[in-house]
């Protein structure tokens, strides 16, 4: 490919990828985003992001952006930083791909543009898309410094790393790989050891000091916000299924793991044979550091989002593999073309469903109940007071005049039960229950349900009371 054609192709891919990421920015805000919005509104100063909020849902840089943006009725504005970071990630991926050729630049941009996990988190007002962007920016700066030196490259690496840590703490997976590559390169360099130490400090001192300060004021008080328990087979199936464009089925997790490990090993072996020590960073940042840190911390919640930087790095490595195979011609080119086509098709299926359903139909569910409530007051209960109440109260401010949400926690259900009950699930059940029955609230019939298609989100089922509970009998 000629240089001009290459960068025109990359520009077209970045534009298309940005459009695909922008569309779901207008779908429903979901729990974690609303939680951030709620916390940011309670703050009296920006410093409170670090000193007042001590739970894992607080992604510091993202919460700061919420605080600075203030209270906006159009929540798409809160997703704009993630969208810009997601678009920028495609440019950075192309630049990293270009280290091995112009074809690889196009492939890296294309794979990342099509990647459903990257699409998903580029349209979510959280810190994950920002962390991926800063990881790739830090990597380019690190390579520039290790290969050419320069204060600007060292400063940009340190700044990107600090911002990455503030974006999401899983950035330390990437930083571990950067530390490993730095140690390897500086150990091989001829000259005084003191100069190597100075260079290492120029790169890593500021992020280390920043992380220690963050640990002192916030992380030592940190509480996990909660979520579904970690199930290894499900985590593997979701992470690799969504990443490779495959059906998300737990029983296929071993097969997916074998495929991913095979491709990953192939890429690392090729780098090692070519005496490109980038394989060290890829191995540590994508596999060793996540495995070691998660094994040490044993978090109750593990999901696809924790591996998002690794997914982006894996796709760039995959672009390098595909570039070599496509140039080889013959069967290798044919096999690579088929694999690329399946990847694009599978991710398109995941993305199309996401564009249609988003992270859930929360606003539509509340509007459904509002239109059918017997009075202006919409009396609602649910199966989970914290999650569902927070979401319902966020959308209640958008109700038309004359309609008011009256959410009742389970301990405050009125005699005979609330008119509506909302139940939530992580995934839509094959057969939603047609009716619910409560001794103290009566019987409820399924009135509507609202699905979701994202990695984040909830399925909601809305039940309406059909018979109140019978009054207690006097004896």
Report whether pLDDT(251) > 60: yes
Tell me how far apart the alpha carbons of residues 432 and 430 are, in angstroms, rounded to a whole number: 6
How are beta strands 435-438 and 442-450 bridged, if at all? antiparallel
Q: What is the mean pLDDT of residues 243-260?
A: 94
Does residue 299 carry a pLDDT above 90?
A: no
pLDDT-based confidence at 472, cuts 50/70/90? Answer: low
Instruction: Give the integer Cα–Cα distance in Å for 172 and 168.
Output: 9
Over residues 239-267, the mean pLDDT reads: 95
**pLDDT band of 302, cuts 50, 70, 90:** confident
Binned at pLDDT 50, 70 and 90, residue 2 comes out as confident
Q: How far apart are CA 275 and CA 358, in angstroms?
A: 44
pLDDT, position 276: 93
Which pLDDT belongs to residue 339?
A: 95
pLDDT tens track for 91-109: 999 999 999 999 999 999 9
Strand 459-467 versus strand 442-450 pairing type? antiparallel
Tell me if residue 450 falls in helix, strand or coil: strand
pLDDT tens string 374-398: 788 999 999 999 999 999 999 999 9
The two three-digit tokens of residue 198, written as one number: 């100075």
- Neighbouring C-beta atoms of residue 437, cutoff 10 Å: 11
Residue 276 and residue 299 in contact, taking contact as beta carbons nearer than 8 Å: no
Q: How far apart are CA 180 and CA 437, in angstroms?
A: 58
**Up-side HSE of residue 166: CA atoms within 13 Å toward CB?**
19
Contact 25, 359 (CB under 8 A): no
Query: In the block, which residue shows the tokens 């094994």?
Result: 295
The CA distance from 276 to 268, in Å, is 9
Contact between 313 and 282 (Cβ < 8 Å): yes
Which two three-digit tokens encode residue 172? Answer: 């330390």
Task: Tell me the pLDDT tens digit for each residue of 422-454.
Answer: 999 999 998 999 999 988 788 999 999 999 997
Separation of alpha carbons 56 and 159, rounded Å: 23
- In whole angstroms, give the CA distance from residue 135 to residue 130: 9
- Cβ–Cβ < 8 Å for 353, 453: yes
For residue 362, count other CB atoms closer than 10 A to its CB.
27
Phi and psi at residue 233, to the nearest 5°: -60, -40
- Residue 336 has a CB neighbour count (10 Å cut-off) of 19
- Cα 90 to Cα 10, 110, 125, 136, 334: the distances in Å are 9, 8, 18, 10, 26
pLDDT for residue 277 is more than 60: yes
Confidence band of 192 (pLDDT split at 50, 70, 90): confident
Q: Are 413 and 386 in contact (CB under 8 A)?
A: no
Using alpha carbons, list the distances in angstroms from residue 248 to 295, 304, 345, 454.
Answer: 24, 12, 15, 12
Sign of the CA dihedral running 388, 394, 398, 401: positive
Q: Going along 363-441, which residue ranges are E strands?
A: 377-382, 404-407, 420-425, 435-438
Instruction: Give, in degrees to the nearest 5, the angle at Cα 339 between 238 and 129.
Output: 45
More confident residue, 127 or 233: 127
What integer is the mean pLDDT of 67-79?
92
Do residues 207 and 175 lie in contact, with contact meaning Cβ atoms separated by under 8 Å?
yes
- Check: CB of residue 53 under 8 Å from CB of residue 39: yes
Number of neighbouring beta carbons within 10 Å of residue 308 = 26
Average pLDDT of span 340-348: 96
pLDDT of residue 380: 96
pLDDT at 474 over 60: no
Nearest-5° angle of CA 304, CA 309, CA 310? 75
Token pair of 30, please? 């979901």
Q: Give the number of other CB atoms < 10 A from CB of residue 14.
A: 21
Encode pLDDT of 30-59 as tens digits.
999 999 999 999 999 999 999 999 988 999
- The band of 238, judged by pLDDT with boundaries at 50, 70 and 90, is very high
How much is the average pLDDT of 366-373?
Answer: 95
pLDDT band at 471 (very low <50, low <70, confident <90, very high): low
What is the average pLDDT score of the chain?
93
Name 274's Cβ contacts closer than 8 Å, sequence gap at least 6.
none
471/179: higher pLDDT: 179
Token code pair at residue 158: 């340190």
The residues that bridge with 450 in the sheet, in sequence order, are 460
What crossing angle do the helices spanning 31-42 and 385-396 adopt, rounded to 10°? 70
Q: How far apart are CA 227 and CA 387, in angstroms?
A: 10
Confidence (pLDDT) at 457: 93
- Both tokens of 21, joined, read 């990421």
Contact 111, 319 (CB under 8 A): yes
């Amino acid at each position: 490919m000629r240089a001009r054609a290459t960068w025109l192709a990359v520009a077209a891919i970045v534009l298309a990828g940005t459009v695909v990421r922008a569309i779901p920015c207008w779908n429903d805000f979901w729990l974690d985003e609303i939680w951030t919005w709620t916390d940011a509104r309670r703050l009296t100063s920006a410093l409170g992001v670090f000193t007042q909020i001590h739970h894992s849902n607080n992604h510091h840089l993202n919460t700061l952006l919420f605080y600075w943006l203030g209270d906006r009725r159009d929540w798409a504005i809160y997703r704009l930083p993630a969208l810009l970071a997601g678009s920028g990630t495609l440019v950075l991926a192309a630049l990293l791909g270009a280290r091995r050729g112009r074809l690889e630049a196009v492939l890296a941009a294309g794979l990342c543009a099509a990647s459903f996990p990257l699409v998903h988190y580029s349209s979510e007002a959280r810190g994950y898309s920002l962390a991926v962007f800063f990881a790739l920016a830090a990597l380019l700066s690190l390579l520039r410094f290790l290969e050419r030196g320069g204060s600007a490259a060292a400063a940009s690496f340190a700044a990107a790393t600090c911002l990455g840590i503030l974006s999401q703490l899983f950035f330390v997976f990437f930083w571990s790989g950067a530390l490993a590559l730095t140690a390897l390169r500086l150990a091989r360099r001829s000259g005084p050891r003191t100069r190597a130490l100075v260079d290492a400090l120029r790169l890593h001192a500021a992020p280390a000091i920043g992380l220690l300060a963050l640990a002192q004021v916030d992380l030592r008080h940190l509480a996990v916000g909660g979520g579904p328990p970690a199930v290894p087979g499900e985590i593997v199936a979701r992470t690799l299924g969504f990443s490779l464009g495959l059906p998300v089925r737990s029983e296929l997790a071993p097969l997916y793991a074998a495929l991913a490990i095979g491709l990953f090993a192939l890429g690392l072996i090729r780098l090692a044979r070519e005496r490109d020590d980038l394989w060290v960073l890829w191995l540590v940042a994508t596999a060793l550091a996540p495995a070691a840190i998660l094994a040490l911390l044993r978090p109750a919640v593990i999901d696809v989002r924790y591996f998002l930087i690794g997914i982006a790095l894996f796709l760039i490595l995959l672009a390098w593999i595909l570039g070599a195979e496509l140039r080889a011609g013959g069967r290798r080119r044919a096999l690579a073309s088929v694999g690329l086509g399946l990847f694009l098709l599978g991710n398109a299926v995941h993305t199309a469903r996401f564009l249609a359903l988003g992270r859930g139909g929360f606003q539509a569910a509340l509007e459904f109940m509002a239109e059918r409530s017997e009075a202006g007051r919409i009396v609602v209960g649910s199966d989970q007071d914290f999650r569902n109440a927070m979401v319902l109260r966020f959308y209640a401010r958008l109700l038309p005049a004359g309609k008011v949400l009256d959410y009742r926690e389970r301990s405050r259900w009125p005699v005979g039960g609330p008119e509506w009950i909302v139940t939530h699930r992580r995934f839509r059940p094959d057969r939603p229950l047609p009716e619910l029955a409560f001794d103290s609230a009566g019987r409820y019939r399924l009135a509507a349900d609202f699905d979701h298609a994202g990695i984040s989100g909830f399925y909601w089922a809305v039940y309406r009371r059909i018979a109140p509970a019978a009054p207690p009998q006097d004896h």
